[in-house]
A = this chain, B = another copy of it.
Amino acid sequence: MSTTFSYQQLFSFSKNIFIKIGCSEADADTAARSLLSADLRGVDSHGVARLSGYIRLWEVERVNAKPAIRIVHESPSTAVVDGDRGLGLVVAPFAMQVAINKAKQAGTGWVSVKNSNHFGIAGHHAMMALENDMIGMAMTNASALVAPTFSKERMLGTNPIAVAIPAGDQPSFVADFATTTAANGKLEILQRKNQPMPLGWALNKEGESSTDPSAIKNGGLLLPLGGDKEHGSHKGYALGAIADIFSGILSGANYGPWVPPFPAYLPMPADMPGEGIGHFFGAMRIDAFRTSAEFKDHMDKWISRFRSAQTIPGQEKVLIPGDPEREMEAERIQNGILLLSPVVDDLKGLATKFNIEFPC
């Protein structure tokens, strides 16, 4: 049981919900756009399926619908932004715009954010740089679910890193990935299908290798990109740590095992050393290095050459980062977004709660 909705239907509904909790028209628009970008790009776990989760954070007063988001420290190419407990979906575009504005003046802009909440998908924010002929970067920390190499303790979030690079005739290069071997969403799919999980994705709560896709639900741990030491998991651990430090420690947010959880019913960590969750954004103006025309010509050459690389048996083509998400977006703009029935029920519940139509 699932139902297809148009982008516009889900966008309008989400925007209306954000207005109902007290967001300004502009903020509700920004938040809905951030949220829905996940559905469009095929990251279903981070889109409208999470709308009710954000609303529950507002209900327990962990999200401020009318934040005074502001710069609290800056230099010509840097800033720290205080998100004032706003929706990360709104705080992140604000901070990325600060990075872009800094880059216009200083060549690059780098913004660390504290006192925020979950920001949706990193790639959406990084891609704001593209239309400005800039390279964009976005990363965030998140509540702990990942074991550092040799550990069986949840110490890091899935801490994604996104990098968006403009090209000329070719579509942009957009990498956006969790610093773990696999995303939690993939485990949930295997649970539903009752299939085993590949080794190298997760440990059970005793810290042993597991093929049970319920491992995380039962107190286990996701593994850093690489999986085990022999396959370079210390590198994935380092990447997740870098995202954590840039997002949490440069800004004054929480970090490591102290990052607050997304589910509103979970208790907050004890003795939190910072404010909210943290993000980090970067923008680099292409022509602060060389002319945009030259750069894009070479990006086109890079992309064409990689796309035409010889493939291994059974594979049709080599992909460029961002290809699958861009194709999904075109398809879903055209044909709509399929939501599973629990998600539809969730949205109907919100409609009832706030006394609005769904779809609207």
Q: Mark A154-171, 1 if CB is under 8 A from B, else 0.
A: 010000000101000000
Quick check: B177 and A234 within 8 Å, CB to CB? yes
State whether A301 and B321 are in contact (beta carbons under 8 Å apart), knowing that A107-B75, A198-B230, A315-B150 are contacts in the complex. Answer: no
For A250, list chain B residues within 8 Å (CB). 284, 286, 289-290, 295
A305 at the interface (CB under 8 A from B): yes
Q: Which secondary structure characterizes the binding site on chain A?
A: mixed
Interface contact B232-A182, CB-CB below 8 Å:
yes
- Which residues of the partner chain B approach A256 to less than 8 Å between Cβ atoms? 302, 305-306
Of B152, B274, B295, the contact of A311 (CB 8 Å cutoff): B152
**Quick check: A151 and B284 within 8 Å, CB to CB?**
no
Q: A256-B306, A302-B256 are in contact. Are A110 and B112 (CB under 8 A)?
A: no
Cβ–Cβ contact B290 & A251, under 8 A: yes
Given known contacts A73-B290, A290-B73, A108 and B78 CB-to-CB distance under 8 angstroms: yes
Task: Judge whether A313 is part of the interface by a CB distance below 8 angstroms.
Answer: yes
Contact in complex: B313, A207 (CB < 8 Å): yes
Q: Is A350 an interface residue (CB 8 A)?
A: no
How far is B105's CA from A124's CA once the two chains are assembled, in angstroms?
31
Residue in chain B with minimal CB distance to A137:
B242
CA gap between A181 and B227 in the complex, in Å: 10
Report the count of interface residues on A (CB-CB < 8 A): 85
Considering only residues 7-60 of chain A, those with a C-beta below 8 Å from chain B are: none
Q: Of B232, B249, B288, which one neighbours A181 at CB under 8 angstroms?
A: B232
Cross-chain contact A153 with B298 (CB below 8 angstroms)? no
Residue of B nearest to A253 (CB): B298
Of residues 101 through 122 on chain A, the ones whose CB sits less than 8 Å from some CB of chain B are 105-108, 110, 112
Q: Is A68 an interface residue (CB 8 A)?
A: no
Chain B residues with CB under 8 Å of A273's CB are 298, 301
- Given known contacts A77-B76, A302-B245, is B182 in contact with A312 (CB within 8 Å)? no
Nearest CB of B to A132, in Å: 14
Q: Is A338 an interface residue (CB 8 A)?
A: no
- Other than A207-B313, A208-B312, give 14 A-B pairs with Cβ distance below 8 A: A80-B289, A149-B318, A153-B309, A207-B310, A207-B312, A225-B225, A227-B231, A231-B231, A234-B321, A239-B239, A241-B306, A251-B290, A256-B305, A273-B298
Ordered by A's residue number, 15 sampled pairs between the chains whose C-beta atoms are within 8 Å are: A73-B289, A76-B106, A78-B288, A106-B106, A110-B284, A150-B311, A151-B311, A151-B315, A151-B318, A152-B311, A175-B238, A227-B231, A250-B286, A255-B298, A256-B305
